[in-house]
Amino acid sequence: MEKYLKNLYKKFLKFEKEFFIRDSAFWVGAEDLKLNKKVLGEIFENNKKSFISFLSDIKDIIYSKNVFDFILKNSVEDWDLWYYLKFLEKEKIIKVRSNSKIYLLKKEITKVIPKPQTEKEIKRKIEKKLKLRIREKEPIINLFKKFQDFVVKSEWDQMPISQGSAIFLAKKILEKIPLNGKFLFVGDDDFMSVVLTLANPKIKCLVADADEQLLKSIRILSSKFNLKIETKKVDFRKEKILGEKFIGFLTSPVYTVEGIKEFVSYGVNQCGKDGAIGFLNFGDEAVGNRILFLQDFFTKQNLIIREIIPKKIYYPWIYLHEKEDKVISKRMFSMIDPKIVKQSPKIGVSLYIFDYLPFKVKKIKVKKSIYAYV
């Protein structure tokens, strides 16, 4: 099926390029440019989708309740939607109904393109498999303590996210990744590889981490619940290449500029020529206005920021760093009931979602007005 999808991708690029060159004559401001086919072809090549991005768009369409959801979800216009609908109908993959709903003709495609799941669906599946109730405000490691004995370590700065945060994060990964291919976790003290594969057992994962006890705990859970998770002990500062390519990666690094760069670079190094989708959690503990340097770093890594989601992921209260936590806990307890503090977020983070471009974008010099939409 993957061979079929890659061939489909090549056909779509040819189809879209032909229409782009033809249709650009209709767009605002384009009539004054008088661009030839060669220049228009270069502009198209500069803006074409990667294979993974193409499949992500296909996924959005085949699982949509209304085809126009695609426009809002991807911040595009009706021209982009029409190209996909026309092409997919031409290839006898879908039939577009007059009420704007999709009828899927090639149903076997759903075997390799995972269906998005709601948080409620994910929660129900995990609770059924673990025979435990998810408690959204508790640390994620509490959900698995019945099956293994992992203990967080201050020297690794291992703070587990809340169970509710883990469910939300799994939902976003399942919403975005367009294949049941291999997904990389650059560090995983939040046990997200386990949460993700419990929600969708077809997904294959590799967890790279320096903590052998953590990896052992993940292997125990993987074996017990028959999950497709591999583990590898890795020092990200020394071993830069794993030797295989992944459709995407998730990392929740040390929340410093240097830590974020180190972990994200490692994830990008494992992305291949098909492109990939990257997920990054980080909080504004020690970054501040230096986010400007990270924005520049993301660009140099060929990462396009597609979404930044605040308010959904957080770390519950924990006593991890003796000196630091003792001071701030004493201060908070003097103002607010300790019971309330211990049931509230300690650190809030934002989720960054990237498209990794497997090719460089060139600057094409064309003299035009700001209103020329080419």
pTM of the complete model: 0.92
* Separation between Cα atoms, residue 354 and residue 38, nearest integer Å: 30
Mean pLDDT by 10 residues, the chain (374 residues): 91 94 76 74 88 96 94 92 96 94 93 93 96 93 89 73 96 94 94 96 95 94 96 86 92 90 95 96 83 94 95 83 80 89 87 95 75 68
* Separation between Cα atoms, residue 189 and residue 214, nearest integer Å: 7
Domain boundaries, the chain: 2-106, 119-356
- DSSP labels for 238-254? T----SS-BSEEEE---
* Separation between Cα atoms, residue 50 and residue 56, nearest integer Å: 10
| Ordered strands of the 182-186 beta sheet | 229-233, 204-209, 182-186, 248-251, 276-282, 345-356, 303-316
pLDDT of residue 263: 94
pLDDT of residue 341: 85
Rounded alpha-carbon distances, angstroms, from residue 145 to 6, 123, 128, 140, 187: 42, 18, 16, 9, 19
Q: Which positions ≥6 away from 332 have C-beta within 8 Å? A: 341
pLDDT of residue 78: 93
3-state secondary structure 70-84: HHHHHCCCHHHHHHH
Domain 119-356 annotated CATH 3.40.50.150: yes
**Overall residue count recorded for the chain in this entry:** 374
pLDDT of residue 4: 93
pLDDT of residue 174: 96
pLDDT of residue 357: 95
Tracing tokens 């990667």 back to the chain, one arrives at 50
Buried b (16+ CB within 10 A) or exposed e, 295-329: eeebeebbbeebeeeeeebbbbbbebeeeeeeeeb
CA dihedral 355, 358, 362, 368 (to 10 degrees): -40
Can you say how many angstroms the Cα of residue 221 is from the centroid of all Cα atoms in its chain? Answer: 23
Partners of 347 in the β-ladder = 315
pLDDT of residue 254: 84
